[in-house]
């Protein structure tokens, strides 16, 4: 979070820097290039002024008096200087390798200047084997061209100068960036810290702690505002849940007493009627079954509302041992229908769960599997470790459930069409899911991996 915020701030700084620096660098490069050319031009014109006198009086002959000028200009401007007479023959040069009298009239810029036109530009030099930046100006007396002064610099020298300036901008940019990073880090920390605390509060709320309060006294005003809203929200959710639980708890509790009384009366009535097959006896027996179901439903609703009440402490349990002990309990009921209960997988499987939760989950899964399974079939309970989790799978050979129904099955009171007439309340899997969540695990229904008909009811708990 902090790192990301710092990254974002620095990225913004880099972007701003690029947006400003690239045009600035291009502009500076252009100005610098023009400045260098103008300086060459100025020197060339000044030297042309000196050359005018000498070339005028002694046109064609080599004049020693021009050489000191050429040398001093060449030194101050770093340029190669060539002065020619009106026929384009060299009369002075800063380069000792250029012989006096050498014909320069074939150089384009010299030819142009000989016609009275100053020239500025770039061209590849065959003699030097590199690109030249040149300035050639005519030495004029009135309209007469007396000769040409040419200043030239290898382009690489000019580019180096330009690059030096651009580098200066880059260094300034880097320093700015460093400064931005130095500002970004404390800034990011002041924003990230209170947001991090707020996130911790949200996580506690998600874990079911509705008493959580975010600190609304620290951080930027927006975050404090957010913390206040969060506190108000957590408080309201807490109150709502509490009153809802109290209500459903109270309802279930209040229903228990009259139901127990009703059950007692029914028993007495059945005793009075005796166990004959009269319509009254049959009706009484049917009522008793319904009352039993209602009672079971109320017990389960009570259990659900207790579970939603909050987070109880988890313990480490051995899934394999629990599975074996529950199977021992269900075995005789299964045997009545020639259904085999089989255990596969790990001998010990320590994992995290709410105390007593895994027993209830396995009971519900086996109960459902027995309802769905045909006679003479096998129900297999497998205990596996998959990465950091222990999986307990209850696998039957019944009709299974479609993908859509597998998702619905965990809803309260949802019952499949095939089990509608079997005893049950439609609350079993809803309780399983609550128990799983409270244990930090996941309950899910899956199709059989081998493609056979049947269902895999899985509880996955954190391994210890």
Ligand X SMILES: Nc1ncnc2c1ncn2[C@@H]1O[C@H](COP(=O)(O)OP(=O)(O)O)[C@@H](O)[C@H]1O
Q: Is 390 in the site for ligand X (CB under 6 A)?
A: no
Least distance from C-beta 276 to ligand X, angstroms? 32
Nearest Cα neighbor of 43 from 14, 81, 15, 11 is 81
Q: Is 443 in the site for ligand X (CB under 6 A)?
A: no
Residue 409 in tokens: 């099955």
Classify residue 409 by its DSSP letter: T
Identify the residue among 180, 398, 434, 459 touching ligand X (CB under 6 A). Answer: 398
Least distance from C-beta 398 to ligand X, angstroms? 5
Q: Is 393 in the site for ligand X (CB under 6 A)?
A: no
Least distance from C-beta 289 to ligand X, angstroms? 14
Q: Which residues, other chains included, contact 76 with Cβ-Cβ below 8 Å and sequence gap of 6+?
A: 43
Q: Is 369 in the site for ligand X (CB under 6 A)?
A: yes
Residue span binding Mg ion (CB under 5 A) among the ranges 89-97, 312-320, 424-432, 436-444: 424-432
Least distance from C-beta 301 to ligand X, angstroms? 13
Least distance from C-beta 439 to ligand X, angstroms? 18
Picked from ligand X, Mg ion, none, the partner binding residue 441 (CB below 5 to 8 A depending on kind) is none
Nearest Cα neighbor of 88 from 73, 100, 74 is 100
Q: Is 425 in the site for ligand X (CB under 6 A)?
A: yes
Identify the residue among 21, 305, 314, 364 touching ligand X (CB under 6 A). Answer: 364
Q: Is 381 in the site for ligand X (CB under 6 A)?
A: no
Site of tokens 């599975």: 323
Q: Is 50 in the site for ligand X (CB under 6 A)?
A: no
Q: Is 428 in the site for Mg ion (CB under 5 A)?
A: yes
Q: Is 177 exposed, middle or buried (0-12, 13-18, 19+ CB in 10 A)?
A: middle
Q: Is 73 exposed, middle or buried (0-12, 13-18, 19+ CB in 10 A)?
A: buried
Work out the end-to-end distance of the chain between its first and last CA atoms, rounded to an integer number of angstroms: 30
Residue 458 in tokens: 């899985």
SS (H, E, C) 208-269: CCCCCCCCCCCCCHHHHHHHHHHHHHHHHHHHHHHHHHHHHHHHHHHHHHHHHHHHHHHHHH
Strand partners, 153: 133
Residue span binding Mg ion (CB under 5 A) among the ranges 69-77, 364-372, 409-417, 439-447: 364-372
Rounded to whole angstroms, how far apart are CA atoms 454 and 369?
9
Q: Is 396 in the site for ligand X (CB under 6 A)?
A: yes
Least distance from C-beta 215 to ligand X, angstroms? 42
Picked from ligand X, Mg ion, none, the partner binding residue 369 (CB below 5 to 8 A depending on kind) is ligand X
Q: Shortest Cβ contact with ligand X: which residue?
A: 416
Identify the residue among 114, 416, 438, 443 touching ligand X (CB under 6 A). Answer: 416
Q: Which is nearer to ligand X, 95 or 444 (CB)?
A: 444
Number of amino acids touching ligand X (CB under 6 A): 22
Identify the residue among 309, 350, 424, 447 touching ligand X (CB under 6 A). Answer: 424
Nearest Cα neighbor of 428 from 373, 371, 379 is 371
Taking the CA atoms of residue 75, residue 76, residue 81 and residue 85 in that order, the dihedral angle to the nearest 10 degrees is: -110
Least distance from C-beta 368 to ligand X, angstroms? 3
Identify the residue among 80, 326, 415, 433 touching ligand X (CB under 6 A). Answer: 415
Site of tokens 């389960």: 300
Least distance from C-beta 430 to ligand X, angstroms? 6
Q: Which is nearer to Mg ion, 391 or 415 (CB)?
A: 415
Strand partners, 140: 145
Rounded to whole angstroms, how far apart are CA atoms 80 and 154?
9
Residue 436 in tokens: 């799983």
Contacting residues toward Mg ion, per CB under 5 A? 368, 428
Contacting residues toward ligand X, per CB under 6 A? 364, 368-369, 372, 396, 398, 400-401, 409, 414-416, 419, 424-430, 455, 457
């Amino acid at each position: 979070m902090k790192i990301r915020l710092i990254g974002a701030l620095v990225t913004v700084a880099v972007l701003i820097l690029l947006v400003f620096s690239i045009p600035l660098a291009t502009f500076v490069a252009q100005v610098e290039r023009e400045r260098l050319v103008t300086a060459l031009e100025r020197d060339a014109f000044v030297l042309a002024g000196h050359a005018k006198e000498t070339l005028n009086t002694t046109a064609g002959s080599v004049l020693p008096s021009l050489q000191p000028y050429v040398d001093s200009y060449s030194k101050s401007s770093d340029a190669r200087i060539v002065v020619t007479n009106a026929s384009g023959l060299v009369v002075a040069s800063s380069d000792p390798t250029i012989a006096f009298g050498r014909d320069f009239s074939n150089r384009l810029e010299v030819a142009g200047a000989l016609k009275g036109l100053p020239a500025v530009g770039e061209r590849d030099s065959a003699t030097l084997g590199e690109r030249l930046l040149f300035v050639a100006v005519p030495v004029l007396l009135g309209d007469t061209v007396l000769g040409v002064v040419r200043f030239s610099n290898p382009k690489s020298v000019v580019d180096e100068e330009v690059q030096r300036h651009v580098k200066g901008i880059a260094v300034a940019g880097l320093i700015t960036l460093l400064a931005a990073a130095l500002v970004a880090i404390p800034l990011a920390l002041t924003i990230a810290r209170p947001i991090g605390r707020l996130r911790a509060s949200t996580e506690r709320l998600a874990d079911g702690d509705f008493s959580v309060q975010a600190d609304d006294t620290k951080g930027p005003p927006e975050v404090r505002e957010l913390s206040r809203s969060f506190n108000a929200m957590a408080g309201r959710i807490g109150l709502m849940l509490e009153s809802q639980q109290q209500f459903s708890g109270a309802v279930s509790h209040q229903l228990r007493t009259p139901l127990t009384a009703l059950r007692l009366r029914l028993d007495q009535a059945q005793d009075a009627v005796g166990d004959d097959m009269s319509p009254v006896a049959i009706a009484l027996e049917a009522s008793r079954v319904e009352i039993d179901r209602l009672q079971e439903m109320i017990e389960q609703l009570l259990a659900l509302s207790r579970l939603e009440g909050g987070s109880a402490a988890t313990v480490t349990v051995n899934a394999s041992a629990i599975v074996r002990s529950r199977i021992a309990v269900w075995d005789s009921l299964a045997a009545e229908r020639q259904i085999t209960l089989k255990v596969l997988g790990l001998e010990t499987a320590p994992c995290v769960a709410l105390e007593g939760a895994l027993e209830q989950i396995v009971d519900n899964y086996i109960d459902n599997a027995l309802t769905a399974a045909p006679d003479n079939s096998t129900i297999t309970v497998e205990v596996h470790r998959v990465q950091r989790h222990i999986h307990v799978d209850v696998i039957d050979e019944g009709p299974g459930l479609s993908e859509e129904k597998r998702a619905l099955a965990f809803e309260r009171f949802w019952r499949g069409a095939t089990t509608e007439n079997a005893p049950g309340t439609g609350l079993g899997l809803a309780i399983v899911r609550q128990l799983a969540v409270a244990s930090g695990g996941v309950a899910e229904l899956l199709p059989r991996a081998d493609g056979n008909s049947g269902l895999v009811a899985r509880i996955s708990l954190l391994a210890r």
